A and B are shown apart, each in its own frame.
Chain A
Amino acid sequence: MEPKSLLKTLVVSVLFFSTYLTQAQITGLVLDYDTNDPLIGAIVRSGKKHTTTDLDGTFQIDAQVGDSIEIKYLGYQTYLSTIKDKHLRIVLSPKSEMLDEISVVALSAEEAEEKRIKSSITPVTVITAKELITKAGNLNEILARQAGIQIRQTGGLGSSARINIRGLEGKRVQIFIDGNPLNTPDGSLGINDLPLQVIERIEVYKGSVPAWLGGDGLGSAVNIVIRHRDVSYIDVNLVRQSYNTSRAGLIVKKSFDKKGIEAGVGVFNTYSDNDYTMAIPDQENLNVVRDHDKFHSLLIGGGITFNKLWFDEIEFEGAYMSTRKEIQGITQNIQHAENKGETIVGVMNLKKTGLLDDRLSLRYTLIRGKINVEFIDTSSYSYNWDGTRTPSIFGKGELGSGPNLSNTEQDELRHRLNLYYTLGETSSLNLNNTMRKSDFNPMDDVANEFAGKNLFNYPGSLFNTVSSLTFERESKLKNFLFSAAVKHYYNHTEGYNTNIYIQDAPEYINTNTHNWGYVAGLRYNINEFLLAKAVHERAVRLPNNAELFGDGVLITPSIKLQPEEAYNYTVGLVYDRILKNYNRIQAEVNGFYMDVDNLIQLAGNGLSIGYVNYAKAFIVGADFELKTDITPWLYSGLNVTYQRVVDNNQFIPGTKEVENPTYNEDIPNIPQVFTNLNVELHKENLLLKKSKSRLMYDLSFTQEYDYGFALSVYDKFIIPSFLTHTISIEQSFQKDRYTVTFEANNITDQMVINNYNQPLAGRTFRLKLRCLLLGKRTQNHHHDH
């Protein structure tokens, strides 16, 4: 793992108990299917709460949208579903009749939540716990199989990876945990270290990001919602896989219902040798086994929640994480350089609903973290691929231009305040504010001594806030939703104007920027099954400290950097229909156009380099997704994505209208066409009673794409296409208490590269054992924003 991605990982690690609670009154009417007469005395249950219908068939119950609801009436089919609306109209059929194409078809709670999220104005892919929990793979692999998403991995477990959504990647895509922005400096995807067993669902917003997710970015985001079981439970996960990789996770949680207290701890350990074979670029017929790529991470977290104080929920969490990652050389044999990191994070979450006549809900998160990252590169030797060694070509150290023994301390203070105010039955306001204050203190006396001057020991800091106000109005029939938001970004940074060639004491400099953004969109339900949505956004990504202040050595400061900006336009259609026998069809198609400007990239003058606002591009594309429950035992999913990122600089920046030689050419190093298919056979009670068996097949295909602009008939820098097949067999017993999963990933051992000259592992086998012991259910929590 890259040192800078530690922050992300570690913030991620402590947020896994967060939730959002809104309790409200649900009202409803229960009718006979044939006669439409009210059914009197039907038993209505939601969680612990229960009631019966009145003389007019109506009821009121303390529950909320997303909770489960069960309605029983003698001689009628039992209705079991999830609450989708505050006002319900439920039709029960006599037992002699089959449930048919009426609204009384049960969705699980998570399916209902997925449907609710998908009915927002923004195109969003929702990966539910059902798709996550039993997988033997990791989060990156699961994300990479979604429409519109690519994960650009650089190596084995623990190596950095960038998420690419709609052609934009790295820092341009925002990552959130329960709505809290991670905005770490380097844009690599540290969330892969997040254990799957703590995830409730993943929301991938494409082309536009709801304003209630604070933070900056250019229009796509991943929000990971952490699972919050409201029962006592023990969850044990053990994974063993190729390349001497093992993962173990344990969560223990206890609920003290009378006192309204929940307490839990989690321990997660991951280890890998990553010792797969790779071909060395530019060396004909040289294949080596990666022997310096070991990765180890340990995460210990705990939290306590109080549910019966003035706040609906007060939660305190803490976590410790340590990581160690050796650095695998690809263009040279590295044998000693490595990264280490340690982090301690504390989190406080407050939630309160029912304020101001039940109109105002509040959620507040405060995060304090200390991160310590070490980079160790002091070898006295350089190594050849045949194992022979010579004195270090730099005198000391294997990477860069000399030794490093750096220790960077980072202090983080963040908060998020979210206020939700209801304006009558159909309108609402949402105010969101995130703040981040970071202090960086790098120390590298060894490198300074080698350089003969202080190059590295220069502190820096940043302070930023992102505030948004969203107005939403939904028609009374709920078939039309309008949403509009404004966002304000403030960024203040401080640091030193330093680089290798500056002789005098470096100047202390600071920057201040204010920017505005907005989002506006609508959703219209064309009929019961089909909805259309359209959204427009002006998005902003602020330059970060690494871009503004360089690395103290060859990357020089760029204090005049402007934020990147994007104007995004997206339209989409979502189809969701449940037919007889629980046959469900879900389809989604989205088209998008994005006009991006001031993109920040590295440039140089032949001697040193630095970040500049340079590229201007438009992105056009479409994605399509189809999910079908073909039969009660056969499920299939398919998605296809096409996207082009096109150079839109007509003239070379910094010139007097000199034609840009790559104007209107596709910007390279971005996948253009990719598709995923999965088929799942599942059967209950096949082996034993209360058992479930699943057989899953996944196909992934990415078309080859250029690493440089495609300008010559002899172009050779191409990232080759790949087609992989993965088969998984899963068997659970005793209502999912015990689960065994076996997975053969990339069974044809296809060479997969999604970064130039960064070979990835081939065929991988995995075995996963899971034990989930749930206590008695007490109450429902709902995870919503």
Chain B
Amino acid sequence: MEIPYIVTPRKDTGLFNSKIAIWLFLASEVMLFGGFFSAYIFLRLGADYPWPERALPVLPGLINTFVLIGSSVTVVFAWAALKMRQWGKFQLFMGITIICSVVFMVLKGIEYNVKLHHQAVRLNDYSVVEGHLGYKLKDGVHVEHGQKPNDGDFELNHHGKKIEENLIEFEASEITFNTVRYHKDWVEEMMARAAEKNATITLASTLELSDGKSPVKFEAGTVLDVSLLDSIRKAHLAARANNSDLRTDNLREQWKKAKAANPGKRDWEFAENVVIDQAAIADKLLPEQASIPFKVEPPVAFHFRPRDIQEAAESGALRDGTALKGKMLESPMVFHYVDAIDFRHLAMKAEEKGIDPEVAIENSMLLKENPVLKEAWDWHKGEIAKLEEKLLKDYGTHKDESGNEVADRVPTDTERYRIGWQDFVAKADGVGRGEEKIGIKEQFMGPDYEGREHEHTFPSHIVIPREEIQFASKFAPAWNTYYAIYFTMTGLHGLHVIGGALVLAYYLFCGKKMYLSNPEWLANRVEIGGLFWHFVDLVWIFLFPILYLM
């Protein structure tokens, strides 16, 4: 069947149909992104924490802007080439467009990856530490400054992966699994950990169950194994199914009897007196086992990710319903490298309470417990004093409403209360704030910790006690609403880039036949794909300044 008006325009609209369709789609896209821009403004105006202004490295965003603008030019050139019946040029320009889209997504991927491996933690006093966590060494030893452990020195989980020093350690003597919900991977990790410590995890009591046909017995002292838990779950579920059938059948029977005993009455008048005859089915019920207790001998320190456990001094509960008994061990978060400390939120809270932010910062746990951070803070204060002086000299003063002489320009809160990784570099290089030399790779990927280690650039081995942590996260959507909207908007935009690139790639690689049969048809389709591509560029033109520069 031939689709009408895809090459020649309709007389009433003056347009070919697919053009109307794409503009309708773009109008809906404007509303979609408009909603997200609206959400961004709302989140920013309503933020109850200092909004991270100009927090992202600009270079990746800038390069991506150039890449997208370039691809917008090449896609319109590709369309023009088709209109002029130049297949070779069309291939060239469309090929460049596709390459641009790949470059864009690769750069975006690198940007996301850097963020998702960057740790942040907000302490109870609202100071924020950012950096990279260390990995656990065997026997609880920490990696010290400048130390280069061998691969064999690290503690590994049962998947053979290193363990970040951000885990809750709990020395368990009893573990009770939820029969239905236990998480196999955690069970295996516990088994591996116990084996490593020469401890045994054994069934605490004998369980006598039935699989519905014959009795099954699980002897006390049986060593924990996933297949053991699976067998118990199977027996438990069979018993539960059997018992619920018995109860349902019995209730039906009771209902029939009640109906017969209450002729002429409405159901609701006697319904509340109809109950299961427990005595009649008691001897047919099979034993159920909703939880399975195990003993750990000797007790073993297991570690869990903070989000997986709710811990107390002598007990813990995992997300899969597993209950632990024993004792909680010290479980500090250890930053192998700190690349920023941020007191903006602390200063904001201090001002709300009428406390001088400078005093609050001096009294913060971070500065009191870590001389290296205190030293960095003192250096930073000196630099900000110099900046203040410079701004005063360059821009002068004016009189405020009360007639007081005030500086025209003053340092921002970010400058005043945040020591960023570039500041640590400036300090280590012995230059003033803002005079540091940062290479393109670092501007893109963030600080080169190991390359700068010999200069002791970044404070290392900073220990944050667990009880001081208010909230911790990678730079992921969970960290704050800024990162939530950043990932949402750029992620949605990235999906549009992928979608658009696939359509354009289809024209490039599968369009030759269409070109030979009717070049104008392909030109129209490329124009439609190009319109979408320009729209993707147009959205980025706003996203870039809003997310990276404001």
**A, B from the same assembly:** no
